[in-house]
Amino acid sequence: MNQAERLRELMAGERLAMAPGASDSLTARLVEQAGFPAVYMTGFGATASRLGAPDIGLLTQTEMAAHARDMVRAVGIPVIADADTGYGGPANIERTVREYVQAGAAAIHLEDQASPKRCGQMAGVRLIPAEEGARRLQCALDARGGADLVVIARTDALAAQGVEEAVRRGNAYRQAGADVVFVDAIRRIADAEAVARGIDAPLMISIVEGNETTQLSADEVKRMGFALAVYPLSALLSATRAVQDVLAELRDRGTTHGKLDRMATYSEFGRVVGLDHYGELDGRFGSG
């Protein structure tokens, strides 16, 4: 079973398919080791980890595809990858799909923002016409060919134009052939309910800290009608605060001794990155 098939099976299961976000390959390994069945390659996190910059469309297609490839290599679970707008016209979309297929991604999502795009949680999102969004999805589906890749249609219409337009676009994108529909920037539980009620398609939801939707349990999200939930910023925001706390301790006290209980040990970190495996290789095949 390939990774796209595994993801489809997860989404069809009785339990919600949960995919925490990872900003890099190390975090992806932590997600897998925590027992989650899939991981989400967040563009917000990728931009932060590679550039130290906000998610305003700064990363190129090749940078994002390389990031996906590295993450796929690091884990054995399906990787759901942000593919932004496809990075241009039909020729760019075709190349984007083929690059992500070659990278081994289980799924990608393509959005209907106008350039310059930005994180869906930010103000000022602008949309392309829905008909153009549908054609771009059909281009991606055609580029997929015989490869097994889950194509997720993302619409940013909720924040830009309201829930009715988001529902309309979601149904239109499903009719265009999208495997899954993703209405981004759902902040209120009432909007999540309206999206689940109004769109006839397998649904993905993004749950971001600071929004009302974090009150929902996985079981509640599943009962509402969503098949897949991603948590794009949970790990990144947690790691950021932890690093800030330790660095402040070192700056102010000249030692990290008071924060040791907040850190993994050297040996624990070695297990995270699979150090024992490489030691075994050296033992079996090294020069001695």
Residues 6 or more apart in contact with residue 63 via CB below 8 angstroms: 46, 50
How many secondary structure helices (H) and strands (E) does the chain include? Answer: 13, 8
Q: Report if residue 251 sits inside a domain.
A: no
Q: Report if residue 276 sits inside a domain.
A: no
Quick count: other Cβ atoms within 10 Å of Cβ 161?
A: 15
Structurally, how many domains does the chain consist of? Answer: 1
Residues of the chain predicted below pLDDT 50: none
Q: Report if residue 14 sits inside a domain.
A: yes
Q: What is the pLDDT of residue 118?
A: 75
What's the distance, CA 232 to chain centroid?
Answer: 6
Global pTM reads 0.96
206 DSSP β-pair partners: 230
Q: What is the pLDDT of residue 177?
A: 98
Q: Report if residue 213 sits inside a domain.
A: yes
CATH number at residue 90: 3.20.20.60
Q: Report if residue 235 sits inside a domain.
A: yes
Q: Report if residue 78 sits inside a domain.
A: yes
Alpha carbon distance 282, 288 (integer Å): 8
In tens, the pLDDT along 108-158 reads 999 999 987 877 686 778 999 999 999 999 999 999 999 999 999 999 999
Q: What is the pLDDT of residue 133?
A: 98
Alpha carbon distance 264, 60 (integer Å): 34
Residues 6 or more apart in contact with residue 115 via CB below 8 angstroms: 57, 85
Three-state secondary-structure class, residue 229: strand
Which residue is associated with the tokens 């989650």?
Answer: 36
Q: Report if residue 106 sits inside a domain.
A: yes
| b/e code 53-65 from CB counts within 10 Å (16+ = b) | eebebebebeebb
Count of alpha carbons within 13 Å of 63, Cβ hemisphere only?
15
In tens, the pLDDT along 225-259 reads 999 999 999 999 999 999 999 999 999 999 999 99
Q: Report if residue 227 sits inside a domain.
A: yes
Alpha carbon distance 225, 202 (integer Å): 8
Q: Domain range for residue 41?
A: 3-239
